[in-house]
Amino acid sequence: MSFFTRALAASALLVACFLSVTVHAGGIVLGGTRIIYPAGQKEASISVRNTSSASRFMVQSWAENQHGNKTSDFIVTPPLYVSNPGSENTLRLMYAGPTLPTDRESLYYLTSKAIPAVDKAEISGKNVLMLSASTRIKLFVRPSGLKPSPAEAPSQLKVSRSGAQLVIRNPTPYYITITQIKAGNKAVKKTVMTPPFGTASLTLPSGGAGTLSFRTINDFGGITDEQIRHF
């Protein structure tokens, strides 16, 4: 067998294994792309569904801070459980950390890792590669009484130019995720999240005109109507 033939066979085997694992690992689906946790509320919850008709998974979940590090500020229950084919479970999150700012949102993340369950008897004596898949969503702690409303906040975003950079200023108390960004008719291949009372910068693409169009992601994970700013 030539080197090319051996390499092709090995590549085909690798792709087949990857596809198989990807289908199985993709069987666990969270019931949203973000969680809004009202400050002072006892708990928040989100559903976790196993969309596979045949595969079982070990599901492990935990909270991370805004820097992506595991944190004990949130208690996630159950932290580890077995998800059977076609089943749906509920994760409950309870805040147990220090006092947070009351004039703005605070950012955390929820991560759930799905590990395909296997029958030990079936894999006994075999070399098996086990791969897990993780899903990570935003978790916003939102104090009560913030102004303006979350739906009105994107309309207050301001855009200015500084050399080859576009600066987006967020004067509201919310984290705002901006997507489908275009400078003129040039797509900006980036989704950015502007922090409360903060800014985010984008590199202006060559030939980008003096307008910026964008959409934002709302509390339900939906895409909002397009907005346009001149700079």
Q: Would you state the pLDDT for residue 26?
A: 54
SS3 (DSSP) at 173: coil
What's the fold here for domain 3-142?
Immunoglobulin-like (2.60.40)
- 3-class secondary-structure state, position 21: helix
Q: Are the C-beta atoms of residues 191 and 223 closer than 8 Å to each other? A: no
Domain boundary assignment for the chain? 3-142, 153-230
- Please determine whether the domains at 3-142 and 153-230 fall in the same fold group of CATH: yes
pLDDT for the residue numbered 189:
79
Question: How many residues does the structure list for the chain?
Answer: 231
DSSP secondary structure of 101-170: PSSS-EEEEEEEEEEE---HHHHTTS------EEEEEEEEEE-TT-SS-TTTGGGG-EEEEETTEEEEE-
Sheet with 158-162, side-by-side order of all strands:
158-162, 165-169, 199-203
Handedness of CA 104, 69, 78, 218 (dihedral sign): positive
Amino acid 117: pLDDT: 81
Both tokens of residue 135?
């899903």
**Residues 15-72: tens digit of each pLDDT:** 333 333 222 335 899 999 999 999 999 999 999 999 999 899 999 999 999 999 999 9
Write down the pTM of the prediction: 0.83
Mapped onto helix, strand or coil, the DSSP state of residue 171 is coil
Q: Which residues of the chain have pLDDT under 50?
A: 1-25
Q: Hey, what CATH topology would domain 153-230 get?
A: Immunoglobulin-like (2.60.40)
